[in-house]
Structure 1
């Protein structure tokens, strides 16, 4: 999965601390979402999409592994 959360946060003009506060998480937790170290629960994913004025399915892209 390719994470696009960081890209959409940059485009939004919001500070990461603002986004983290709105989601009720720490800044470190948001960084983990951005880096793909963890994934937001579905309710937070929908709130994040609303804050960033995008669709939930824009926040992640599925990348097929080629073997």
Structure 2
């Protein structure tokens, strides 16, 4: 199972949400859904967000082991 870490990364980021929204050309609702884990960024937006936050794309997400693992 994959869990987004976007909210955690944004809290420690030097950028405000409004800047991220403008730079990625997304809506406030889109960013809110990413943070909540309701939706996920497309691969191109994930790379853009990772670049802005100065992290890898892998760092945007946290792997949670499933009971099968």
Structure 1 residue 58 displacement after superposition: 0.3
**After the TM superposition, which residues 10-25 of structure 1 pair with which residues of structure 2 at under 5 Å, given as runs?**
10-25=11-26
Give the CA RMSD over aligned residues. 1.1
Give ranges in structure 1 of 5+ residues lacking alignment: none
Kindly report structure 1 stretches of 4+ aligned residues shifted beyond 3 Å.
Answer: none
Scaled by the length of structure 2, the TM-score of the pair is 0.89
Give ranges in structure 2 of 5+ residues lacking alignment: none
**After the TM superposition, which residues 1-67 of structure 1 pair with which residues of structure 2 at under 5 Å, given as runs?**
1-66=2-67
Distance (whole Å) between structure 2 residues aligned to residue 3 and residue 39 of structure 1? 8
Structure 1 residue 7 displacement after superposition: 1.1
SS at match of 1:2: strand
Structure 1 residue 13 displacement after superposition: 2.4
